[in-house]
């Protein structure tokens, strides 16, 4: 009997032109238009898919350390023109100067890393910021320690502190890779300067951009407009499924079809369960068709198939639960007002916050965070995370949002379902 109910509801949707237009034709048309119109804005065409933000906090500077460096050189017996020549050489080969003015400012590196300089007093605020991927803290006497070790084999080895934001492993890896090569460069220079090779040559050449290219290829991919809007329209138009099913169910009440189903011995629970399963099936089919359209027509290479299946199935189950809830609410009220409000207001707000129209976090981080707790926003975030190359582990917070939403919908459906029957 349950199968017959599901089959009946699927036939109603197939025979009605409006669901076909809204659920399939409109998203496909919008995906095609938006992907083409915004390709020049969103697609990077060879530029980096991601740019890490590195903050450099230099607790000192060459000017501040010059007095202590000069004092050390004088203690070592150097003076006059020899002293001045060495000071000039040391300043030119200052590892921090090479890092900031040579390595990080190169055209190849600027694609991957954006750098800013901050004061040590801002350290705590910077550590809490989601816009900062790494903080390099250069301590007092770094340059003096470097000169002592590199040229005189004395004192402590120069060291720095690197703080990485673990929220984005790819950006953190880029920064860690660059600074590891920089450290390797100035460490090697301590030995090589004795045979006439300057630290600038050593440090500058150890940074291999190819390593970063490899890291990007293995990790985060760019998100072109075709992928972004395929996902955005997919999650947006799936939200129309519950209102269609709830509307058809209310029509059956008006036409006394629902009463005849109950007289045939089918319980109201079975009927609601059939709405839930039908909603999940329609959502699953709709998403599969849109994803196939993206792959076959737009040439999208969907990656992380196993994770994508988990996301699509989870979102489909939520749509099924929401379909059951809207149906019960319309049975309770006896009007289509609930579905009309949901279609006209709720879907628009959810789509705006969830990022279907544009990346809302670029406008407001707060709105972006709120959007991540909407079912469509959570689904979109999960799919885009997988498409950028993240592992399946990153999607579980978004799956929790969907399953908590599903639990709420099912619970409310049970609580709200009219105990005295449905009246027309």
The rounded mean pLDDT for the chain is 78
- Contact predicate 311/382, CB 8 Å: yes
Helix H or strand E segment including 168: none
pLDDT digits (tens, 9 = 90+) for 336-370: 777 788 877 888 888 888 888 887 777 777 888 88
Give the chain's radius of gyration (CA, Å).
31
Question: pLDDT (tens digit, 9 = 90+) per residue, 294-345?
Answer: 888 888 888 888 889 999 999 999 999 998 888 888 877 777 777 788 877 8
pLDDT recorded at residue 67: 87
Is the pLDDT at 286 greater than 50? The verdict is yes
Half-sphere exposure of 127 (CA within 13 A, CB side): 10
pTM given for the model? 0.58
- What does the pLDDT look like over 139-152, one tens digit per residue? 888 888 888 877 77
115: which strand partners? Answer: 54
Q: Rounded mean pLDDT of 98-103?
A: 82
Rounded to an integer, the average pLDDT of 382-410 is 87
Higher pLDDT, 68 or 217: 68
Question: Which residue did the predictor score with more confidence, 228 or 41?
Answer: 228
Q: Is the pLDDT of residue 202 over 60?
A: no
pLDDT given at position 218 = 45
Q: How far is CA 314 from CA 236, 241, 348, 376, 406, in A?
A: 15, 15, 22, 11, 9
Percent of the chain whose pLDDT exceeds 90:
10
Cα(388)–Cα(163) distance, integer angstroms:
24
């Amino acid at each position: 009997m349950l199968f017959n109910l599901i089959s009946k509801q699927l036939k109603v949707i197939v025979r009605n032109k409006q669901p076909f237009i809204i659920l399939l034709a409109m998203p496909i048309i919008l995906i095609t238009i938006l992907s083409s119109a915004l390709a020049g804005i969103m697609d990077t065409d060879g530029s980096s898919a991601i740019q890490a933000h590195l903050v450099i906090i230099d607790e000192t500077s060459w000017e501040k350390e010059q007095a202590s460096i000069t004092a050390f050189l004088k203690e070592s017996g150097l003076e006059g023109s020899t002293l001045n020549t060495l000071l000039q050489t040391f300043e030119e080969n200052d590892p921090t100067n090479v890092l900031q003015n040579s390595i990080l400012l190169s055209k190849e590196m600027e694609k991957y890393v954006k750098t800013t300089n901050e004061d040590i007093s801002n350290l705590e605020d910077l550590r809490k910021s989601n816009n900062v991927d790494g903080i390099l803290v250069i301590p007092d006497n770094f340059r003096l320690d470097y000169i002592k070790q590199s040229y005189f084999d004395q004192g402590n080895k120069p060291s720095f502190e690197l703080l990485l934001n673990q929220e984005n492993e790819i950006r953190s890896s880029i920064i860690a890779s660059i600074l590891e090569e920089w450290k390797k460069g100035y460490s090697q220079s301590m030995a090589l300067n004795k045979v006439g090779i300057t630290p600038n040559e050593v440090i500058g050449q150890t940074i291999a951009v190819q390593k970063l290219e490899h890291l990007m290829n293995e990790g985060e991919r760019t998100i072109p407009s075709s992928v972004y809007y395929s996902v955005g329209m997919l999650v947006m138009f799936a939200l129309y499924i519950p209102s269609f099913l709830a509307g058809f169910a209310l029509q059956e009440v008006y036409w006394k079809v629902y009463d005849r189903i109950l007289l045939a011995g089918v319980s109201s629970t079975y009927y609601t369960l059939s709405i839930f399963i039908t909603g999940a099936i329609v959502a699953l089919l709709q998403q599969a068709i849109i994803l196939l359209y993206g792959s076959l027509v737009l040439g999208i290479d969907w990656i992380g198939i196993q994770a994508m299946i988990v996301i699509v199935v989870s979102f489909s189950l939520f749509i099924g639960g929401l379909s059951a809830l809207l149906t019960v609410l319309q049975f309770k009220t006896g009007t289509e007002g609930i579905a009309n409000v949901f279609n006209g207001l709720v879907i628009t707000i959810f789509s705006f916050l969830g990022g279907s129209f544009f990346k809302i976090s670029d406008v407001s981080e707060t709105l972006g965070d709120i959007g991540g707790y909407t079912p469509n926003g959570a689904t979109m975030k999960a799919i885009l995370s997988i498409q950028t190359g993240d592992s399946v582990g990153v999607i579980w917070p978004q799956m929790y949002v969907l399953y908590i939403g599903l639990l709420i919908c099912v619970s409310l459906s049970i609580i709200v379902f009219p105990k005295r029957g449905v009246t027309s």
